Amino acid sequence: MAQAADAARTVILTVDDDPGVSRAIARDLRRRYGAEYRIVRAESGDSAMEALRELKLRGDLVAVILADYRMPQMNGIEFLEQALQVYPGARRVLLTAYADTNAAIDAINVVDLDHYLLKPWDPPEEKLYPVLDDLLTAWRTSDYRPVPATKVVGHRWSARSSDVREFLARNQVPYRWYSSDEPEGQRLLEAAGADGQRLPLVITPEGTALIEPEAPELAAHVGLATTPTAEFYDLVVIGGGPAGLGSAVYGASEGLRTVLVERSATGGQAGQSSRIENYLGFPDGVSGAQLTDRARRQAGRFGAEILTAREVTGLEVNGAARVVHFSDGSAIAAHSVILATGVSYRQLHAPGCDQLTGCGVYYGSSLTEATSCQGQDVYIVGGANSAGQAAMYLARGAKSVTLLVRGESLAASMSYYLIQQIQEMPNITVRTRTVVEAAHGDGHLEQLTLRDVDSGATELVDAQWMFVFIGAAPLTDWLDGTVLRDQHGFILAGPDLTPDGRPPAEWELDRPPYHLETNIPGVFVAGDARAQSAKRVASAVGEGAMAVMLVHRYLEQS
């Protein structure tokens, strides 16, 4: 009954100033979707906005908005930009003539357009319905509902509560947060029979209460896939960052039975970025979460399986099979493997930091904590792009943001465009040749001791928030004794396997290793985990695609 009620109040809205076109598209939409969705049509941008506001007041849901580009007074892009403020979760489609495709492409960045359709769309079975089917599927799995059903009860200064919230946010699982100190949080604890000593408490949409859930348990209860559907694949991709997602998209789209295994959340470090402004095709920038969500949906559309909260602990060669072992003792096998494990931020080894991690000290951009920094003083440790992007994002609401940089300047490690933006932001201060000597606080961060590298002088400052970006360490320890790595743990491949560029002694094939191939034939590496990689999103995606091409070459010769 609940699903039926939702369907009755879910709308597909179309707006076109040509009455004949407006009636035609509404007719086609009702023929396919009228049984499950209410079709609302308007003949101007103003009347469509009025309809959206009325729907909002009644609490109705809007799944998809289709707008014609050429409308008087308010064109389709202008209308969609206003509609975005009322229904940000609705999928947006622009109807356009062939001559206006440049405007449609621009709209992808202006209003985060999901698709543009050329008129006429006949036959709708080929040109309209497949597009709408995909958009409706994506909408149903997004956080479109005004009140998310999953509830999290925890303490503000709790590392475990922070971990759970971050896991849900990065995996695009909508949830509502309740402090254990507030009345509603207390009511939820009582209803679940929890004493409040063990937090967080997660209540799933089905009403299941999970106390201090680990990632695999949490993933399984909130609808994330954790179990493979087969025992053998053509390709196993380990790691869900840009390189892994690129591999999954190209592997699945080219006919390989592909499974991607991610230990935490897809997107990697890039998925935590508030704004990526130098990625090809997005002149106005794109958030890491948006880019990750699109890539994940794209991989799924081509048939790739994506497993979340599965930790890989070993890689074994068993004849022609490459066996991937999981921490729970299970395993899957494949003809080929792509290692796209990425990197993690290095830990700040200063007294007090370990105890306060998750309680004011965070590594990377904590998506869930940014809103709590409003009007407060924030410290960011690091001088590379990730630190700069976080500084720009947090500076929008924070009272002040201070970048602590060990080096002489930002120029050695940060892109020029970011340096320029930081210089123009009045509430960002850059302190070079400065490091964190210690972190202090009772249960949460309260103060930092800063030290000048040159003079040795120290200073005690008040601080509740510190985000750390101090370099990256590869997540490859589990490959020790199997795959060759350099002294820093980065994976060697192709000509980098030996100093003279020749195949390693244990290499058994007549041919030399391919460019991204490790010392194990059929096992490739892509992205930041590879030695000498570029550490950029674009290069990681490119290497993911290239690795799939080499997988095909390997399979053809096996």
- To the nearest whole percent, how much of the chain has pLDDT over 70? 94
Q: Could you say which DSSP state residue 305 is in? A: E
Domain residue spans of the chain: 2-140, 150-221, 232-344+473-557, 353-470
Which tens digits make up the pLDDT trace of 45-65? Answer: 999 998 988 787 566 889 999
Neighbours of 159 (CB within 10 A): 17
Residue 203 in this model has a pLDDT that exceeds 80:
yes
Please say whether the beta carbons of 531 and 496 come within 8 A. Answer: yes
- Can you give the C-alpha Rg of the chain in angstroms? 25
Asked if 2-140 and 353-470 have one fold, the answer is: no
Which tens digits make up the pLDDT trace of 278-320? Answer: 889 888 888 888 899 999 999 999 999 999 999 999 999 999 9
Which tens digits make up the pLDDT trace of 521-539? Answer: 999 999 999 999 998 899 9
**Does 179 or 109 have the greater pLDDT score?**
179
Q: Is pTM beyond 0.75 here?
A: no
Write out the CATH class of domain 150-221. Answer: alpha beta
Q: Which CATH number fits domain 2-140: 3.90.110.10, 3.40.50.2300, 3.90.75.20, 3.40.718.10?
A: 3.40.50.2300
SS3 546: helix
What are the backbone angles phi and psi of residue 327, rounded to the nearest 5°?
A: -65, -20
Specify the residue for token string 């009455």. 19
**353-470 CATH:** 3.50.50.60
CATH 3.50.50.60 fits 232-344+473-557, yes or no: yes
CA distances from 46 to 84, 117, 136, 453 (A): 14, 22, 25, 60
Structure tokens at 100: 């206006």
Which tens digits make up the pLDDT trace of 403-426? Answer: 999 999 999 899 999 999 999 999
Lowest-confidence range among 200-209, 268-277, 538-547?
268-277
Residue 355 in this model has a pLDDT that exceeds 70:
yes
Bridge partners of 39, per DSSP, are: 12
Q: What is the arrangement of strands in the sheet containing 10-15, beginning at the earlier edge strand?
A: 38-42, 10-15, 61-68, 91-96, 115-118
Q: What is the mean pLDDT of residues 505-511?
A: 90
Which tens digits make up the pLDDT trace of 124-177? Answer: 998 899 999 999 988 988 765 544 468 899 998 888 998 999 899 888 888 888
pLDDT at 201: 93
Residue 239 in this model has a pLDDT that exceeds 50:
yes
Structure tokens at 522: 């059929």
